[in-house]
Structure 1
Amino acid sequence: MQRLIFESAWDRTIDARDRERIKHVFEQANEKDKPLRPFVLLNQAHNHRGDLLITVLIQNGLETNWILHNQTLTYYEANTPIATETFSDKRLAIPSKCSMPWTFIFPKKTMQQEPNFKEGELRSTSLDEI
């Protein structure tokens, strides 16, 4: 059974409404008999530099901890790749059977086309799947 956790900086700073929304998405994504999806989309946006911000609920269904190390991720819309980047961040360590929200920042230069923020999905293209 999955357990929802928050990275310490998120836990201290997240707005109460956002926390409740994430809890609701977590509960829906983990309903009985639903297959576990490694990335559940929470939000997509641009920052002031034009970078693409993709916020997801990462669900570690493995029996071991998952650490973000050289993971190549691609953001898709309607099965069309929008941006690809390789990420490493030791702060992102998700214990076994836990889910945690996280925002991935795809620099503007990694975008193959401008997103429309419809039918979005984040996928791992690395061998180290969650």
Structure 2
Amino acid sequence: MPQTLTFEPSWDKALPEQDRLKIKQTFAQIDHDTSEPSITFTPLWQAKNYKGELLVTVIINNYSEKELTFDQTSIHYIERGQILATHFFTLKTVIIPPKTSMPWAFIFPVKNISQQATFDNGFLRLV
């Protein structure tokens, strides 16, 4: 079964067309030929909000045969090989079916971010 791209309903309604196009283009460039079932994050963009929180927007790729949910799931934010933030995420409305990719923004609270973070070219990894 080929990997499909889907949007969480509230994202689907609110997503600007320019962002939707970038997400679709990025998804099309991902090599979905994975030899073992896994979960990966494809970076889209990252920013700091007015509170100083780190927002990391990615495409979550569920290559497994199982539904993916986030319930106290630990995720690292990594830059230049260093873990600069870790947070436990519980996303009640996010359920990603098998062989499906979905964009999502993870928000790391200020207290969980290292001061050395440049918020440039970072990526996410499941712990």
Q: Return the offset for 1:119.
A: 3.0
What does residue 40 of structure 1 align with? 42
Please point out which of 93, 96, 99 is paired with 2:95: 93
Which secondary structure state, in structure 1, belongs to the residue aligned with residue 55 of structure 2?
strand
How many residues end up aligned between the 2 structures? Answer: 124
What does residue 16 of structure 2 align with? 15
Identity among equivalent pairs (%): 40
Q: What's the TM-score, normalizing by structure 2?
A: 0.91
Q: Return the offset for 1:117.
A: 2.8
Q: Distance in 2 between matches of 1:117 and 1:19?
A: 22
Q: Determine if contact 2:65/2:99 at 8 Å carries over to the other structure.
A: yes
Q: What's the TM-score, normalizing by structure 1?
A: 0.89
What does residue 62 of structure 2 align with? 60
Q: Return the offset for 1:34.
A: 6.2
Please point out which of 83, 86, 90 is paired with 1:84: 86
Q: Determine if contact 1:78/1:120 at 8 Å carries over to the other structure.
A: yes
Q: Does 1:24 align with 2:16?
A: no
The list of structure 1 runs, each at least 4 consecutive aligned residues, that deviate by more than 2 angstroms after superposition, is 33-37
